[in-house]
Chain A
């Protein structure tokens, strides 16, 4: 019951976006992957969720390889990716965006249950169910994107920069919601962030990558207390 990434390499044409990256994440862990713009964080998540192909190396979840499988099928085996930039469909209503999360699932009772859980967690969505998603604020859109993912009942949640472009107060709300979700449901979460301070605040561990390469990893507390790392990668 682990996510294992082993010697993974990803090419963008001639550029190596991820270079010989290895790490493992235990079930129920919340691990944040930190790195500056262009470090390869988004590329890594997109490969893990089946959106882009990899060049070499392996990646497995619960003992099964996840490479070479299509994104739409990985969702069905519990790997759900909330992509960068408030991943909602603005042309659809809030209710329809949520419905998308469970669109492939047969168990309608559980979909209804999951939806009500999401609405408990993000009451503001409940007030706006009939509105177009384009009328939502940035924070509400991020809540909607995470809410949609939760309705798929994921085991492994891949979150790409949920804090991007949000006000500090809203970031705090979103991060505490993520924390609450994994506490309650025992989710395994991979959280990609530039906002290292907020991410390490809720994560068990952090992995720092730079220019596609592994730099270091460690518990949130140890990373935050290392002055060299703070100056070089964490930006605070």
Chain B
């Protein structure tokens, strides 16, 4: 029974990370109808910048916001200089939904390459001061560490921040309106282009936080976040791709699911499991848990 609860705790910790990456993908999807495969690259780059900040400031907690701000900027740059011109050029063509996918792959490759050129392809350590040794309860050590706790708290703060913005501010209303009906939004005086860039910047911040929180538990390399991208995508699909709450719940569900697979089956099957979960969700409930009806034609 203890194992059962411990597994859930571990799952919530990794699930928080998936939730952030999933949120990053959903924010981009909602603002420009693109699944941003470059999210993994953007998050890796911002994490490297966080790593640089830490090696100078010697303080993980200061490097964290630097990484997040860097992530927001990188994402805004990607949107303004690649995705927006591309959307204008491919509008109405048969490749309208394929061209952006390919562009994001190009950006992913470019960022990985640049990171490799600058920092090399070796595994770097971006460490947090928090212990990754589990808390003690009585005389037993549980697999939930202060680092895990920080991950959950950090993710929760950011999620609450986003929720507040979307729910209570004009900016949030503009973001939602622009994602549903760009034309009506423009006719209401919303500068949709600018709002989209802001949507991407938020997404970049969420992805950057995911990268900066998860990396201390593993290592940093140009493609160390690829698997996180896949998990984030699966989580986003579970949540319905449209819904911010769905993204978070999808991430937590996937995190807990993975934790159980890890605990009771073994670590090797995790990513095959991700694929199988994805296929099952797409077949049984293609609109996701929180999605509205309708098919997945985008």
Contacts and interface: CB of A to CB of B under 8 A. Distances in A.
Given A72-B192, A103-B170, A87 B177 contact: no
A43 to B, nearest CB: 14
B188 interface: yes
Interface string A46-57: 000101000000
A103 B187 contact: no
B184 interface: yes
B273 interface: no
B176 interface: yes
Nearest to B170: A103
A82 B184 CA distance: 8
Given A89-B180, A89-B181, A92-B180, A75 B173 contact: no
Given A89-B180, A89-B181, A91-B180, A96 B187 contact: no
Contacts of B174: 103
A80 B192 CA distance: 16
B189 interface: yes
A70 B194 CA distance: 13
Contact of B184 (A87, A99, A104, A152): A87
A72 B186 CA distance: 5
A101 interface: yes
Contacts of A89: 177, 180-181, 184-185
B133 interface: no
Interface in A58-110: 70-72, 75-76, 80-83, 87-92, 96, 99-101, 103-104
Nearest to B181: A89
A35 to B, nearest CB: 22
B166 to A, nearest CB: 11
A49 B186 CA distance: 10
A205 interface: no
Contact of A92 (B170, B176, B186, B192): B176
B187 A87 contact: yes
Contacts, number: 64
B187 A99 contact: no
A148 interface: yes
B173 A104 contact: no
* Interface SS, B side: helix
A135 to B, nearest CB: 14
Given A96-B173, A100-B177, A103-B173, A83 B184 contact: yes
**Interface residues of B toward A: which range?**
10 to 19
B191 interface: yes
Interface in B151-199: 170, 173-174, 176-177, 180-181, 183-192
Given A89-B181, A99-B173, A103-B173, A80 B190 contact: no
A71 B184 contact: no
B173 to A, nearest CB: 6
A100 B190 CA distance: 8
Nearest to A151: B188
Contacts of B173: 92, 96, 99-100, 103
A109 to B, nearest CB: 16
Nearest to A134: B292
A71 B186 contact: yes
Nearest to A96: B173
B40 to A, nearest CB: 29
Interface in A133-185: 148, 152
Contacts of B191: 72
A75 B186 CA distance: 8
A104 B189 contact: yes
Nearest to A87: B184
A72 B187 CA distance: 6
B193 to A, nearest CB: 9
B186 A51 contact: yes
B183 A51 contact: yes
Interface in A112-149: 148
Nearest to B179: A91
Given A72-B192, A103-B170, A91 B176 contact: yes
11 contacts: A51-B186, A70-B186, A72-B186, A72-B191, A75-B186, A83-B183, A83-B184, A99-B170, A99-B173, A100-B177, A101-B188
Closest 8 CB pairs of A and B: A104-B189, A75-B189, A100-B188, A71-B186, A91-B180, A89-B181, A72-B186, A72-B191
